[in-house]
Amino acid sequence: MKNIIIVGAGEVGYNLASHLIAENKNVVLIDKDSDKIKYASTHLDCITIKGEGNNIDILEKAGIDNCDIFISATDSDEVNIISCFIVANEFNVPVKIARVRNLDYSKRNFFIKGNSGIDLLVNPEIEASKSIVNSIVHGAVSDVFTFEGTTIQLRDIYIDSSSKIKGLTLYDLKKKYNLPYIIAGILREKVILIPHGGTTILEGDNLYIVGDEKNLDILFKKIGLKIKKIKDIVIIGGGRIGEIVSSELTKLGKNVMLIEKNYDKCKELSEKYEDILIINADITDKNIFEEENLKNYDLLIATTGNEELNILTAVYAKKIGVKRTISIINKSNYLTLASSLGIDATVNTKLSSVNTILKFIRKGKVKSIYSIFDGKAEAFEISINENSYFANKKIKDINLPKGALIVAINRENNNFIPDGDSEIKPGDNIIIFTLQNVVEKIEQMLA
């Protein structure tokens, strides 16, 4: 069992600790804030310590001598970097990870293991921006999770009162739309279910569907979720995420307008990016929607630091005619709300960082990994070699724990949705959808 020390009990640190505890890891959480430590101690099953993460006495108290993974995720980039420096120089910890928000730090070659002792730098804004751009590339009709080196995707769609597939069983759905895909999981009333053929699709469900990109496009079109070309995009908020996304989208040939209420920030951005139209305005003034003809845009992305404002802005934009909307949301209980209100895709900065850290922690066989709905489930891609437990076995002969499902296989650049008679071969990449409580068992099988 791995011993993990996390410095910082804020959003990223707390959620990462919660995720790892659910996988039966030994976690120690350190923070100098008494309120954060008190909250963590009453909500998480782990050791909590009040103190500075760059204090050697505190680190020794936390058990740094037996630590396998050290993660510093405070709100201070400097504290995170220095903490990792200290751990690298004073203790023998195999993996050191630092959360940084300063884009200059993220770009510096100095911050690599050979020079600093840091194995991984994680920037929440960069990871969230990647998720937004990825969703746009695939039409922004749902949350889209891609897997390395394949065209296999995991998409999340919400079933509202007008859905064509509401009331159908999975068997009926497959019979009606005979395409190679699999519904890996259903989020129903904040619980993730692994469905079977007789499971009925209900209003309010979030379906997690796995398949090849082309087949999912066809399926979505048949059920009424048409993918339209996105060219004109308006971004609300000129913070880090808004800036990064704007820059990346202009590189992809999109027409981008960015609305920011802070004049000095607008001036800074306009001097930096000639290809982006920068508007100084407050999005809470509804006149801006008419003055800038926002209803004619293909997509609105709400990236302000106020997630309630992001939701309201996205909902109002859909109401006046904006075709697609994406919203930055961090509270897990807002995710289903956002879907039910018609927001096409959501991005959670916390989970974007958690996914990156988890992928690194499980590096080697794990090529891609996604934490789903605040860590209640995971989807991950693994490479199969000759010595793997899965190699040369039919899926029906693999003793997968209840709550886990092999949902796709990539073999020599060909993708297919397997059944019980499908045999896994060395060289395959397989995608597993699993509930959180059986992740540890899957890891043991991989080991």
CATH topology of domain 229-322: Rossmann fold (3.40.50)
Query: Where does the pLDDT of residue 10 fall: very low under 50, low under 70, confident under 90, or very high at 90 and above?
Result: confident
DSSP annotation of 388 reads S
pLDDT in tens, 401-430: 888 888 888 888 788 888 888 999 988 888
Q: For position 6, what pLDDT does the model report?
A: 95
| 71: β partners | 6, 97
Query: Where does the pLDDT of residue 324 fall: very low under 50, low under 70, confident under 90, or very high at 90 and above?
Result: confident
Domain 150-222 has CATH 3.30.420.40: no
Mean pLDDT on 253-272: 92
Q: For position 227, what pLDDT does the model report?
A: 65
Indicate the CATH number of 3-122 among 1.10.150.650, 3.40.50.720, 3.30.60.50, 3.20.20.70: 3.40.50.720
Gap between the Cα atoms of 331 and 350, Å rounded: 9
DSSP annotation of 426 reads T
Q: In this structure, is the dihedral angle defined by the CA atoms of residues 216, 222, 225 and 229, taken in order, positive or negative? A: positive
Region for 375 from its dihedrals, namely left if φ exceeds 0, alpha if ψ lies in -120 to 50, beta otherwise: left
Integer CA distances (angstroms), 173 to 68, 106, 211, 419, in order: 46, 46, 15, 17
Question: ∠ at Cα 207 (377, 434), nearest 5°?
Answer: 25
Region for 173 from its dihedrals, namely left if φ exceeds 0, alpha if ψ lies in -120 to 50, beta otherwise: alpha
Q: For position 404, what pLDDT does the model report?
A: 86
The upper half-sphere exposure of residue 188, i.e. CA atoms within 13 Å in the direction of its Cβ, equals: 10
Mean pLDDT on 342-349: 80
**Which amino acid is located at 307 in the chain?**
E
Q: For position 24, what pLDDT does the model report?
A: 79
Cβ neighbours for 272, distance < 8 A, ≥ 6 positions apart: none
Query: Where does the pLDDT of residue 21 fall: very low under 50, low under 70, confident under 90, or very high at 90 and above?
Result: confident
Q: For position 164, what pLDDT does the model report?
A: 85
**Average pLDDT of the chain to the nearest whole number:** 84
Q: Return phi, psi of residue 196, to 5°.
A: -130, 180
Domain ranges of the chain: 3-122, 150-222, 229-322
Least confident of 21-35, 98-112, 135-149: 98-112
**Tokens of residue 305, six digits:** 């630091």
Question: ∠ at Cα 131 (126, 132), nearest 5°?
Answer: 95
Least confident of 84-88, 127-131, 438-442: 438-442
Q: For position 281, what pLDDT does the model report?
A: 92
**Tokens of residue 189, six digits:** 């009333």
Gap between the Cα atoms of 52 and 444, Å rounded: 34
Gap between the Cα atoms of 78 and 136, Å rounded: 33
Instruction: Tell me the H-state helices in 121-231.
Output: 124-137, 170-176, 213-222
Query: Where does the pLDDT of residue 107 fall: very low under 50, low under 70, confident under 90, or very high at 90 and above?
Result: low
Classified as helix, coil or strand, 370 is: strand
Place of tokens 């009925």: 200
Q: For position 229, what pLDDT does the model report?
A: 74
**Which amino acid is located at 296 in the chain?**
N
Q: For position 161, what pLDDT does the model report?
A: 79
Question: Do the first three CATH levels of 3-122 and 229-322 match, i.e. the same topology?
Answer: yes
Least confident of 81-95, 313-327, 360-374: 360-374
Gap between the Cα atoms of 443 and 2, Å rounded: 12
Let me know how long the chain is.
447
Flag whether pLDDT at 322 surpasses 90: no
Instruction: Tell me the H-state helices in 331-373.
Output: 332-340, 349-361
Dump the DSSP string for 45-86: SSEEEES-TT-HHHHHHTTGGG-SEEEE--S-HHHHHHHHHH
